[in-house]
Structure 1
Amino acid sequence: MSPIKNLNVTFETISDNSSYSEGDIIVGTVSFRLTKEAKVKSVYVKAKGDANVEWTEVGVPVERLQSAHRRYFKVKEYLVAENDEGTVLPKRVHIFKFRLKIPEGRMPSSFKGKHGNIVYTFEAKVSRSWRLPSKVLKEINFVSKSCPHTPQMMCPQSSSVRKKMNGISKGQVQICATINRGVCSPGETLSVVAKICNSSSRNTRLKFKLQQVTVYSCQDNTNSSKETLFKMVGETIRPNSEQTASCQLKVPSDAIPTLHNCEIISVEYYIKVYLDVSFALDPEVVFPLVILPPKFAPAQSREAVGPETVDSPAYSEFTSSTFTTGLDPILTGLQKELKEVECHWANAAHAHLYRNGVGTKRARLSATTTLENV
C-alpha cells in the first residue's frame, strides 16, 4: 500500500473567474502526507495545452477516422530533484510551493465540442522507483488575450439586400438592417433594427437569428456544425406594404467566445436577418459577430437607431441595393441621423485607441478632438 496520502494541488487565485492567459504565472502549493518514511525518485508539477479533433467519416467500402493534434506549450518544474537513487522524505505532511509561467504567444481559449477540444491541464506527480506514481490532474481555464475584433466593429453595422420574386409571385422584397455593434460578451444584449419593403404579391415574415458555426479541420478534411442560439419571428408583412421591426437579441451567458487562432478548431458567430418566403430562397442580411471574454471586451455601444443605406454582398438570386428606389420614403430623414451616429461612434472608437496609446496619427488627432468634447 502506498504511504503517499491526500495528494492535493491548491492554486492561488489571480482573477475573479480563476482563469489564466498567455504570460500568467500559475502559483500554488502541492501537499501530501507520508504515513511512513519513504524514498521518492522525484516530485514535480507540469502544465500543458493541447488541441485535439477526431471524427469518423462513413464511406464505401470502409469508414475513415480523421484526427489531428496540436501542442501549444508544456512547462515543468521539479519540487524534489530527480534522483534515480531516491530522496528520503520523513513521515509527516509535506508542502511544496510552485511557480509555473505560461509562455507568451497566440494560444486559443479552452474549448469543448462535439468532435474536438482545447484543454489546458496541470499535473502534480510523486514518482517512486519500481512503484506506480501518485498524481493529481486538474484542468485550468485558459482565456486567450488574442482578440479578433477591430475598433470599427464597435460602430453600428448596416447592410441591405433585394430579391426579385419568381414563378407565380410578382414584384420584389427588400431588407435594410442595422446592428448597434459587431462585438459583445456573453450575456449582453444587442439591438437589431430592420426595414422591409414587400412589393411582391405574397405574404412574408421577418426573422432574426444568432447562429454559431463550429468547424473542425484535419489536413484537407473538415467537419462543421451549426447551432441556433437565438431566434425571433416577427409579424406577417402583407403584399405591397412596408414595415420596421426591431429585436433585442440576447447573447446566451454561456456562449463560447469566438475562436479564431486554432489551426484545427474555429468558432464563429453570425446574426441573420431574413425574410421567410414560401417556395423560394430566403433573402437575408448577415452580420459577423465577435464574442469576447468579459475581461477583454471593450465598452458597450448604444442601441441601433435604424438601418443605414449601404451596399451589401451580391447573391446569386438577390441583388444588393442602396434603396434608392421603393424605400426612399421610409429612409427619408433617417440617413442624416444615422451618419451623425456613425461619426459619433467612430470618434469614440478613436478615443478608445488614444486612451490606450495606440492608433495612427490621424486617429490620435481625432481622439484628441473627441476627448476635449467629453
Structure 2
Amino acid sequence: MTVKHLSVEYNKVNERGTFSPGDIIFGRVTVVTSKETKVQCFLVRAKGKAEVTWCEQEGQTTVVHRDKKKYFYFEHIILQDKKKGDGSEIIGPGRNVYPFTFEIPNTDMPSSYEGKWGKITYNLRAKLTQSIWLVYKTKTEFPFLTKSDFPFASKSEMIIVGLKEQQCATRISFFGSGKVTMNVTSEKMGVKQGEAVGVSVEVLNDSVRIVTPKFYLCEKQTFVAKSKRTVHTNDILFGTGDSVPAQTSRTITKVLSIPPQLPLTFFNCCMMKLEYRLKVTLDVPLARDPEIKLPLVILLGSPKPHQQKPKRSIWFRKLPG
C-alpha cells in the first residue's frame, strides 16, 4: 500500500463557517504516498442531498419507507488514466496537494439538518482508485445555511405577519371540585437563537385542588417518503412555576432562553419540516393536566463560529503477511 494518507479540506468564507447558495468552495485534497504511485482515477465530488428512512410494522411484515432528493452534484477529475502514457496519472512520492473549486447553485435549498428519521447534508468526497481492488475514500461535511429569510413560509408568502406580536390563549377546565381557568401570554411568536422570551400564565383556581404550571418547548419533526408520513415529537421542560393553592388566583411569569444551537424552523424541504410550540400545562393531582400550546418560530440568531467536526483524514497501514 503506497498511499499512506488521504484527506479533503475547505476554506471558510464567513464568520459562521457556513456556506449558502451562490458561494464558491475553495478546497484541497491532500494525499501522502511512500513512493511514485500510478492511479486509474483520482477525483473529488461535492453533493447536497436530503434523505429520510424509517420502519413500520404492518402485521408480520416490517416495511421500510425511504426517499431521497439530490440538490446538486459536481465532480472534478484530478487525475485519470487515459492510456496516454504521458505520466499525467502519476502521483509523486511524499505529500501532494491538489486544489479545487465548486460553485454552489444559487437556488433555494434547506439548511443542514439531522433529525430522528432523516437528514439534510452537504459534503465533499475524494476518491483515489489504483485498481478494482484498491480504492481509497475520504469525506468531510460542510455546514449549509439557506438564504431564505422565511424558510418556514410557503413560497406565495412574502412576509410573515405576527412574528413580533404578542400571543394569547385561554383554557377553562372543569373538575368535580370546581373549575380552573388558565390564560397564557407570550411576548412574540418569532424568537432568535440564543434569545429569551417571556411567557406569563394567569391561573384562576376555583377548585379545591392545588395546581402547578409547567413550561415546555415542544419540537415536532415531520418526515415524508412518497405517500407515507411519520412524525417525531419531543418536549423539553423549561421549568416549573409556583403552585397555585385552591380558591386563589396567581400570575406566574417565566423567561425562557432559546438554546443558541437550536435548529431553525423550516418548511422549504419536500421530505421533512421542523416546527416548535410553547406549551404550558397545569399539573393537577388525580386529573388530566390541561394544556395550552402557542406557535413558536425559531429564527436565525447572531453569528456564532461553527464548530467544525474533525475532518475525516485517513491514514492507511499495511497489514502484516
**TM-score with structure 2 length normalisation?**
0.80
Deviations 1:188-226 (A, max 9, x none): 322112222223444322221111112222233333222
Q: Is the 8 A contact 2:171 2:292 kept in 1?
A: no
Tell me which of 247, 254, 260 is aligned to 1:253. Answer: 260
Q: Is the 8 A contact 1:8 1:136 kept in 2?
A: yes
1:14 corresponds to: 13
- Take 1:90 and 1:252, find their aligned partners in 2: how far apart are those partners? 48
The reply on whether 1:141 has 2:143 as its aligned counterpart is yes
RMSD, aligned CA? 2.7
Tell me which of 155, 167, 172 is aligned to 2:164. Answer: 155
One-letter amino acid matched to 2:51: N
The reply on whether 1:40 has 2:39 as its aligned counterpart is yes
In structure 2, relative to structure 1, the CA distance for the partners of 1:16 and 1:133 (3 Å cut) is same
- Take 1:63 and 1:84, find their aligned partners in 2: how far apart are those partners? 49
- Take 1:178 and 1:165, find their aligned partners in 2: how far apart are those partners? 21
One-letter amino acid matched to 1:194: V
Q: How does 1:91-130 map to 2 (within 5 A)?
A: 91-92=92-93, 93-128=95-130, 130=132
The reply on whether 1:237 has 2:244 as its aligned counterpart is yes
One-letter amino acid matched to 1:20: F
One-letter amino acid matched to 1:10: E
Tell me which of 190, 196, 217 is aligned to 1:189. Answer: 196
Q: Is the 8 A contact 2:260 2:301 kept in 1?
A: no
- Take 1:152 and 1:132, find their aligned partners in 2: how far apart are those partners? 58
In structure 2, relative to structure 1, the CA distance for the partners of 1:219 and 1:234 (3 Å cut) is same
Q: Is the 8 A contact 1:160 1:174 kept in 2?
A: no
Deviations 1:280-312 (A, max 9, x none): 444333221122343589xxxxxxxxxxxxxxx
Deviations 1:315-369 (A, max 9, x none): xxxxxxxxxxxxxxxxxxxxxxxxxxxxxxxxxxxxxxxxxxxxxxxxxxxxxxx
One-letter amino acid matched to 1:102: I
Greater share of helix:
1
- Take 1:9 and 1:181, find their aligned partners in 2: how far apart are those partners? 44
The reply on whether 1:269 has 2:270 as its aligned counterpart is no
How far the C-alpha of 1:231 sits from its partner, in A, is: 2.8
Q: Is the 8 A contact 1:41 1:85 kept in 2?
A: no
Deviations 1:118-175 (A, max 9, x none): 2221012233455533332111122222333755444242212132414x233x3323
The reply on whether 1:169 has 2:146 as its aligned counterpart is no
- Take 2:96 and 2:31, find their aligned partners in 1: how far apart are those partners? 6
Q: Is the 8 A contact 1:230 1:250 kept in 2?
A: no
1:89 corresponds to: 90
- Take 2:40 and 2:253, find their aligned partners in 1: how far apart are those partners? 67
- Take 1:130 and 1:84, find their aligned partners in 2: how far apart are those partners? 16
Which runs of no fewer than 5 residues in structure 1 stay unpaired? 298-374
- Take 2:72 and 2:302, find their aligned partners in 1: how far apart are those partners? 23
Q: Is the 8 A contact 2:194 2:301 kept in 1?
A: no
Greater share of strand:
2
In structure 2, relative to structure 1, the CA distance for the partners of 1:224 and 1:118 (3 Å cut) is same
Determine what percentage of the aligned residue pairs are the same residue.
Answer: 29
How far the C-alpha of 1:81 sits from its partner, in A, is: 5.8
The reply on whether 1:65 has 2:74 as its aligned counterpart is no
- Take 1:222 and 1:130, find their aligned partners in 2: how far apart are those partners? 41
One-letter amino acid matched to 1:75: F
How many residue pairs match? The answer is 294
How far the C-alpha of 1:187 sits from its partner, in A, is: 3.0
- Take 1:110 and 1:84, find their aligned partners in 2: how far apart are those partners? 41
One-letter amino acid matched to 2:213: L
Q: Is the 8 A contact 1:22 1:145 kept in 2?
A: yes
- Take 2:119 and 2:14, find their aligned partners in 1: how far apart are those partners? 23
- Take 1:151 and 1:51, find their aligned partners in 2: how far apart are those partners? 26
- Take 2:254 and 2:81, find their aligned partners in 1: how far apart are those partners? 62
Larger mean Cα displacement after TM superposition, 193-202 or 241-250 = 193-202
Q: Is the 8 A contact 1:161 1:284 kept in 2?
A: no
Larger mean Cα displacement after TM superposition, 126-135 or 208-217 = 126-135
2:212 corresponds to: 205
Q: How does 1:276-291 map to 2 (within 5 A)?
A: 276-291=283-298
Q: Is the 8 A contact 1:43 1:82 kept in 2?
A: no
**TM-score with structure 1 length normalisation?**
0.70
- Take 2:160 and 2:114, find their aligned partners in 1: how far apart are those partners? 29
**Structure 1: which 4+ aligned runs deviate by more than 6 Å?**
none
How far the C-alpha of 1:100 sits from its partner, in A, is: 0.4
In structure 2, relative to structure 1, the CA distance for the partners of 1:271 and 1:49 (3 Å cut) is same
How far the C-alpha of 1:242 sits from its partner, in A, is: 1.9
- Take 2:114 and 2:207, find their aligned partners in 1: how far apart are those partners? 45
Deviations 1:26-84 (A, max 9, x none): 11222223443343344322111222222221232222222222222112223346735
- Take 2:299 and 2:84, find their aligned partners in 1: how far apart are those partners? 51
Question: Greater RCO between the two (CA within 8 Å, min separation 6)?
Answer: 2
Q: Is the 8 A contact 1:158 1:176 kept in 2?
A: no
1:319 corresponds to: none
Which runs of no fewer than 5 residues in structure 2 stay unpaired? 154-158, 305-321
SS in 1 for 2:234: strand
One-letter amino acid matched to 1:31: T
